[in-house]
Structure 1
Amino acid sequence: MGLFLVIAVNIPMMLFSGFYMRLNDIVGYLQWFTHVSYYRFGFEGGMLIVYDNRSQLTCSIPYCHFKNPSKLLEEFGMKDATVQQNYISLLIWIIFYNITFYLILKWKVHMSR
């Protein structure tokens, strides 16, 4: 049962992480999924580490829209995010999962007695 539950939870988390589609392009009534997706926090943190406070990128053609790294973050909807905010969100998810799995294991041991 755990195998099916993990897949059922992880697929929406991946779809609404901002990696497969931009956060701004997600339909309004599904926007809340982006705020609880732990994949989003990891992806956003990685993007901020790589592109935030970075100098201009080199480009071989005359016009490059993403020559400025802040334009790339703005396009992905990550302009106002911070790395610390993403770390805290991931830490909250880790604590939540540890408590949840502990309670489930405790309940399973209690039921088997």
Structure 2
Amino acid sequence: SDVFDQVIRECGEHNAQFQALIRKMVEQNLDIETTRNEDHYGAAIHHLSLLRNKRCLMAYMYNRAETIRSFRWKIGPVLPHEIQEKLNFSEKEYFRSHSSAIKSYISEMDIDLTVVCIFPVSFIFWG
């Protein structure tokens, strides 16, 4: 959470610098589409930093979501306290929603997808 908040603050700083450089170019009546000066390149660096941070945060969030989804299959519908305390409110809600969707699908299809297969893989494919 602290690192996430730090990256969000950094994004705010990059955005403020980016906006200031663009404003400066506009105030100087420069065409921001074609002008290639130090302000243009500075704005480009801040923009690319924002994109990098966004990619990193999205990858982090995707990884967390994948981990939370895997908990349902590996642990079951109730998470141990030591895992729950490491999740934020949104992640707990995501787990509950994912569990509910699995439960609904299982009851609709009348098949328990959480049962561990005891047959060797070779038996399934080769009979």
TM-score range, shorter chain: 0.3 to 0.5
Larger Rg: 2
Scaled by the length of structure 2, the TM-score of the pair is 0.41
Scaled by the length of structure 1, the TM-score of the pair is 0.45
